[in-house]
Structure 1
Amino acid sequence: MAAAKKIITVIGATGAQGGSVIDHLLRSESQEYNIRAVTRSPDSAAAKALAARGIEIVQAELTDKDLSAEKDASLAADKAAAIETDMGINMANTALATETLYHYFCGGKSQPPHYDYKARATRYIKSKPELLAKTTFVWCAFYASNFAWDFLKPVYFPAIGQYVQMQATPSDQPIACIGNTRSNFGAFVGAALTQPETTRVGQTVFAFVERSTLGGLLKIWTEVHGVKATYVQIPRDTFFATWSAKAQEFTLGMEFWELVKDQEWTGEDRFLTYADLGLDITTLKSVKDSFAELEL
């Protein structure tokens, strides 16, 4: 008699990270999971597209105290884009109440002040030994698609015949990039799933395919599109006065990277990269190829 499939619950299933996890699992040869996708909008086109692929769709809000969709799941993959403290703790409490929980993933793309919100939820999880023993934290690096944001997208100046990218942080700011998030992120979660003895007990997986600088990313972007571009650092106050709060949060995130540089951001001894997971990043979409998908 064939063993029953495990249930894997993906929160934020219609987003880039959650969607990437689902794509990876559907391509997996093992096919050992029944996938349950949790979304706030089950009638959306994205949710219906998942249902058409055989995914179970469940409606839920992260603020709900009873996330019954996650109950009896063998894994809960938290891929909400900006998890507030109460949401993170709510998810953790639901996981704690799940007797059959085997592996819990906690992550998402975060930038200050969201670092602080997520850190509080992380500390809560670490205060629960029985949950921490089954938890893997996942950090996703800079999206290549961020270059499409209004405050990051290089602007063409006809008078000088080239593009200009204006930022409040220096061009030599170190940064790690995931490339195409939808294509690449799921591979990191998939690799972590197959190595629970390595990735659980509160280990942190850092999902990226290339390390560079902000100026280095712009250089790759120019090479891909065959154009010239200049990186211009402008005063922080000027940048903040010009752009939205989203741009300000991004800058705070970059300033955080500048402060820690090569230090471990998590405060722990180390985190796990593609090398530790045995992941061949040549099979993933490079930063260069990811930029090629973006329109000028």
Structure 2
Amino acid sequence: MVAKKLVTVVGATGAQGGSVVDYLLKNKSQEYAIRAPTRSPQSAAAKALSARGVEVVRAELTDVAALKAAFAGSYAIFAVTNFWGLFSETQKQSPGEKDVSLLANKAAAIETQIGMNMVDAAVATDTLQHYLLSTLADAYTISGGRSQPPHYESKAKVTRYIHSKPELLAKTTFVWCSYYATNFAGLAQPIHVPAIGQYIQIQVTPSDQPIACIGDTRANFGTFVEAALAQPDKTRGGQTVFAFVERTTLGGLLQIWAEAHHVKATYVQISRDTFFSTWTMEAQEFTLGMEFWDMVREKEWTGKDNFITYSDLGIDITASKSVRDSFEELEI
């Protein structure tokens, strides 16, 4: 009997990592065994993974030694970091702090260190053949220094760190996950205005800004990682997989959402100063990323023309959950 290839999935209880686990568990070849490092092995989410046959191990992402132990024996590793969770924790630790840049940069520094910790642990994993890192574009470099959102730069620093390690870079696939449908239930949630009988979505960037969307992250993201893992000769060596299921504009996305919920909605662009003086810190930081997308719109925010998409990977996109169907599942 051929031994299964061990894939260690960081963030297995989250949207991206959870989707990777889902797809690897239902992989037709049944060639993978899955390990999930977590800080809370006794949590309900971790126990649910264990019940599905996933090996759950305890590991703090801030502890390189624990990560090395968690990665030991891995054929492949999927790694993801969570800026928004760290940003929330940073705000809780600094009550009353109003400087969004200060807090965002603190969270970004922690995210970068966690990313580098995982890289160091991966380098020490002598069985490793494939390292898949969920990351984002290098906004600062692509924009010529005009844009540097902390939640982009924190990941870009880890990408550069991998580029400084040729042996790991040769085994690495970078994966960019596009716009989440769930943003419409949080950072970009339309607001109902009873006086006009419809919803409005307030943004800083224009409605014709191009956007690529993953839709339901949990339903769709994992297929890209599974396909990349199955085609290492195509995806390793520092190649980038751009995970999306549909392209549209910000205004078009709002109309898809409105149609999904059988309501009327209007896109409202306001000044940057007005938005930043009234909206939450999370929305302000998120908007920095949106401004970057608008700045390099002709490059579809990727800044490169040789990324790998679903067509290159042979993914049947019609089998994915559409953006409209993804929006239908969100409460309004």
Does the 8 Å contact 2:81/2:115 carry over to 1? no
Is 1:140 paired with 2:153? no
Gaps of 5+ in 2: 84-107, 140-148
Partner of 2:90: none
Deviations 1:43-86 (A, max 9, x none): 11111111111111111111112111012211110022237221
Equivalent residues in 2 for 1:98-137, closer than 5 Å: 98-108=125-135, 112-137=149-174
Partner of 1:85: 112
The residue type equivalent to 1:288 in the other structure is R
User: Which whole-Å CA distance do the structure 2 matches of 1:178 and 1:50 have between them?
Assistant: 24
- Which range is displaced more, 139-148 or 106-115? 106-115
User: Which whole-Å CA distance do the structure 2 matches of 1:80 and 1:87 have between them?
Assistant: 7
Does the 8 Å contact 2:77/2:130 carry over to 1? yes
Equivalent residues in 2 for 1:162-177, closer than 5 Å: 162-177=198-213
Return the offset for 1:109: 6.5
Pick closer, same or farther for the CA change 1:120–1:266 going to 2, 3 Å.
farther
Is 1:71 paired with 2:72? yes
Partner of 1:33: 32
Partner of 1:43: 42
Return the offset for 1:217: 0.5
User: Which whole-Å CA distance do the structure 1 matches of 2:307 and 2:153 have between them?
Assistant: 19
User: Which whole-Å CA distance do the structure 2 matches of 1:219 and 1:264 have between them?
Assistant: 20
User: Which whole-Å CA distance do the structure 1 matches of 2:136 and 2:302 have between them?
Assistant: 14
Gaps of 5+ in 1: none
Does the 8 Å contact 1:88/1:118 carry over to 2? yes
User: Which whole-Å CA distance do the structure 2 matches of 1:192 and 1:222 have between them?
Assistant: 34
User: Which whole-Å CA distance do the structure 2 matches of 1:265 and 1:158 have between them?
Assistant: 35
The residue type equivalent to 1:93 in the other structure is D
- Which range is displaced more, 45-54 or 178-187? 45-54
Superposition TM-score, scaled by structure 1 size: 0.95
Return the offset for 1:175: 0.9
SS of 1:227's equivalent? coil
- Paired-residue identity, %: 66
User: Which whole-Å CA distance do the structure 1 matches of 2:135 and 2:220 have between them?
Assistant: 14
SS of 1:201's equivalent? coil
Return the offset for 1:239: 1.2
Partner of 2:256: 220
Deviations 1:71-119 (A, max 9, x none): 2211110022237221111111111111100100111478921211111
SS of 1:262's equivalent? helix
Deviations 1:133-190 (A, max 9, x none): 10000000000011000x4211111111111111111111111100000000000001
Return the offset for 1:269: 4.7
Partner of 1:285: 321
Partner of 1:241: 277
SS of 1:12's equivalent? coil
Pick closer, same or farther for the CA change 1:277–1:262 going to 2, 3 Å.
farther
Return the offset for 1:263: 2.1
SS of 2:64's equivalent? coil
Report runs of 4+ in structure 1 exceeding 6 Å deviation. Answer: none
Deviations 1:229-266 (A, max 9, x none): 11111111221121222101111001111111232755
What RMSD in Å do the two structures reach over aligned CA positions? 1.5
- Which range is displaced more, 99-108 or 234-243? 234-243
User: Which structure has greater helix proportion?
Assistant: 2
- Which range is displaced more, 44-53 or 79-88? 79-88
User: Which whole-Å CA distance do the structure 1 matches of 2:194 and 2:301 have between them?
Assistant: 41
SS of 1:294's equivalent? coil
User: Which whole-Å CA distance do the structure 2 matches of 1:127 and 1:264 have between them?
Assistant: 27
Does the 8 Å contact 1:102/1:134 carry over to 2? yes
SS of 1:159's equivalent? coil
Deviations 1:259-282 (A, max 9, x none): 112327555552101111111100
SS of 1:105's equivalent? strand
Superposition TM-score, scaled by structure 2 size: 0.85
